[in-house]
Structures are given as structure tokens and as C-alpha cells.
Amino acid sequence: MGSILRKRRLASALLALALLQHGATASASDGLNSPALRFSGFATVGAVKGGDDNLGFRRDLARTGVFDGDADWAMDSLLGLQLDLRLTEKLDGAVQMVIRDRLDDALENQVEWAFLRYRFSPDWTLRVGRIGLDVYALSEYRNVGFSYLWVRPPVEFYAPVAFYSFDGLDLTWSRPLGDGLFRAKLYGGSTGNDFEVGDGISSLTLEPIIGVTLGWESDHWQLRMTMSQTEVEEEQEYFPGLQPLADALEQVVLLWPEATNLQANLKAEGSKIYYHSIGAAYTNAPWQVQAEVGFIDSQLDVYPALLNSYVSIGRQFGAVTVYGMLADSDNQNERVEVEPPFIPFLPVESAQLAFLGQTLQTAFDNASMDQSSLSLGMRWDVRYDTALKVQWDRTWVSAYGSGLWDTKVAPEDDQILDTFTINLNVIF
């Protein structure tokens, strides 16, 4: 019973660093000092059913939702391919491609990792290129379904951060501490992603992003803390997709003076976003416990401040692990209420202002993320490299708090929704 758990924990640790162990040695029989290559990969085949007529389930904010009556295979399914190259004893690199459903399937977007790594000493390591964004515990390997217990990372915690990698560098210092290993990482660069806005696709770029990660892990414990800050690229005056709405507000200032302040609420240029988190995981057969608490401090009304958290407990029975999880996202901003004026002697203009106000109200309401979920599931380790999972999620969405869903109409009352998922995870 414990052997499967130990293998899974070992696989997870390796995958977090580079999917599988980097730097495979060249065959001794060739007698040459040629570079060592290693090819590896991972895949998930999964189906998800959830949502209702107005709210579509999605695993992060950069996805198209799954609405009531749909059984979707694209939400969780993916194929990851990785090539590791060792050039010298101190210099190696990795390229990882993840083929999955995206709003923009350009080749550049399929490349999750593409970096060179140099080890100055056993304590100091530098990576340069496209690197996994280490904001939360699973951030660097959230695509690798085999490496964690559930069908997907908890939506309330991971969905608001729809950025998987960044272009830049990180510097890591590690040192034995007690019966474990302490790591400190400093990183910086830029990141971005595409988002569906109305009938189109808009991009959001965050630059610069600067962060630090502190962690300690032993045979049974993993502890970590992260702090990072970023800001919206200076060339993006407004949040993606909101430029037409901002232009419309500018044209009605004479009739609606408050439109100036509302327009300012849509501005994104130079706005800062801060990410903070602490997390802990305990693994000791047959138990697995993991929890994280995060705070997103945002200067944007259309990407509100958020306090989010989750706690998960799993127990293993032979090759099967059953688990339960509670997750929560709590919007920290007051609801922005839009009240356009009614001008009695200008009925046509008043109707236009009312329509503009409703459109703006929808934009603010659709951004609020306020919900909680209870998840129950089972993982069956079919073999050391294959896992079959099933999971049921019951989610309580607060009125005007559906920002984690693909929202057609923002609910004015609390909602309860169920999501069902089955998937198969493999590594190779």
C-alpha cells in the first residue's frame, strides 16, 4: 500500500522540477562525450459535465465554458511532450510542449517551457527562457494530472491565475535544513494569455512580474510561501475587450458626469496586481493532506481582490485513494452599482444610457468571484504510470459572484451547480 504512495510522491517531486529526471547519461558503449537527451511526456483524457443555461464550467479564466447538457472532452484533455538536453555537467535545458484546447492555437502558445539551466554549484541554479510560473504549489506542473490527487487543481484557487509560464529568468538557492531541504527562488520576467471577450479574443500581458518563493520539504512535509507582483503592460490602456465600452462612456459625459469615474474603473494601464500564498502538504501512508491560502490584491475593479483557499484530505486503500476537498474564493471588493440618470425630456438618450449602464453593470458583475465548492473523488493507480480518477463537485455561487464561470447572464440570486468529471492520467 505504501509503495504506490511513495512512487506517486516521487513522481510528483520530479515532475515539479522537470517532469522526469533531467540529464539522462549517454550510453557508455559509444565512448563519446556527446550531449545526453531524454524524451518524456504526459497526457490526460477526460470528460466533464456541468454548468447550467447561464453559467458554463471552466477550469481557468482563459477557457470557454461547458454549459448544461454538454459532455466536454476538451476541457481537461491534453498531451505534453518534453525534451531534456544535457550539454555539460553544469549546463542543461528543457523544451516542453502542451497540446490542449486554447483560444489561440499558435505554435508559440503551445510551448510551455523552453529554458537553459546552469548550476553554479550544488546550492545555486539559474534558469533563463520560458519557465513555469511558480505562484502556487502546483503552478509549475498544473498540466500534469498524474502528479496530483484530484482531476484538476481546485478551481477556486487556481482558475483566477490563468498564466502557466513566463519569459524571463529565475535564480534558486537550496540548502539542507534539519531533516529536509530549504529552497529560495527569485524570478522575474513577463507573462500573458488570451481571453474570450464577447465574440472575440483579447490578450492580456503582465510586465514586469517579480516574485520570490520560499519552501522546505522533507520525506513527509512540504511547506512553501510565495510573494509576487506584476502590472498590466503600459500599452494596454483598458482591460481586454473593454475599450469600446470606455469609448462609449466618454461620449456621454455631458449627459452622465459619473461616466468619467466609471471609465477610470475600466483602465488597466500600469495597474498592479499582487499575489501572496502559503501552503502545506503532508504525505504519510495512508494519508495525504494539502492546503493553501492565497490573497490576490488587485487595483482593477474588473479583476477584483480575492481571498481564496482550499483544504484536501485523502486516504489510500490499496491502489485506490478516496478524497474530499473544500475550496473557497471570496471577493474582497464591494459590488460596483451602476445607476445611469433618467432625463425626462430626452427619452431616447435616457434609454441609450440605461442600455450602456446595464452593459457596464454586467462587466463588473461578471468579474466578481465569490463561491465555495465541496469535492469528493477517487483515484485508482492502475499502475505506476497510469491513474484513473472520478470527481463530483458541488458549488455554491453567490449572487453576482460568478466570475469563475463562463457567464451568459450574471445570476441575481445564489446558485448551486454540480460538476462531474472522469479522466485518465498517464506519464511516459
In a domain, 263, yes or no: no
219, 225, 281 from 216: Cα distances, Å: 11, 9, 11
In a domain, 257, yes or no: no
The pLDDT of residue 198 is 64
In a domain, 395, yes or no: yes
Q: How far apart are CA 81 and CA 42, in angstroms?
A: 7
> Per-residue pLDDT for 65 more than 60?
yes
In a domain, 56, yes or no: yes
In a domain, 171, yes or no: yes
Mean pLDDT of 339-349: 91
Q: How many domains does the chain have?
A: 1
In a domain, 109, yes or no: yes
Mean pLDDT of 177-201: 89
The whole-model pTM stands at 0.88
Q: How far apart are CA 49 and CA 32, in angstroms?
A: 54
The model's pLDDT over 6-34, given as tens digits with 9 standing for 90+, comes to: 444 444 433 433 343 333 333 333 334 44
In a domain, 126, yes or no: yes
Q: Which helix (H) or strand (E) holds 368?
A: none
CATH number of the structural domain spanning residue 148: 2.40.160.10
Q: For residue 161, which of 141, 121, 189, 133 has the smallest C-alpha distance?
A: 133
In a domain, 328, yes or no: yes
> Per-residue pLDDT for 301 more than 90?
no
Question: ∠65-69-70 over CA atoms, to 5°?
Answer: 50
C-alpha cell at 424: 485518465
Q: For residue 303, which of 328, 327, 333, 329 has the smallest C-alpha distance?
A: 333
**Radius of gyration over alpha carbons of the chain, in Å?**
23
Q: How far apart are CA 407 and CA 365, in angstroms?
A: 10
Q: For residue 356, which of 335, 337, 340 has the smallest C-alpha distance?
A: 340
> Per-residue pLDDT for 397 more than 90?
yes
Q: How far apart are CA 352 and CA 259, in angstroms?
A: 13
Which domain, by its residues, includes 373?
2-26+38-234+270-333+368-427
Residues 6+ apart with CB under 8 A from 289: 281, 282, 283, 311, 312, 313, 314
The pLDDT of residue 239 is 78
The model's pLDDT over 101-158, given as tens digits with 9 standing for 90+, comes to: 988 888 889 999 999 999 999 999 999 999 999 999 998 889 999 999 999 999 999 9
The model's pLDDT over 239-272, given as tens digits with 9 standing for 90+, comes to: 777 888 999 999 999 999 999 999 888 888 888 9
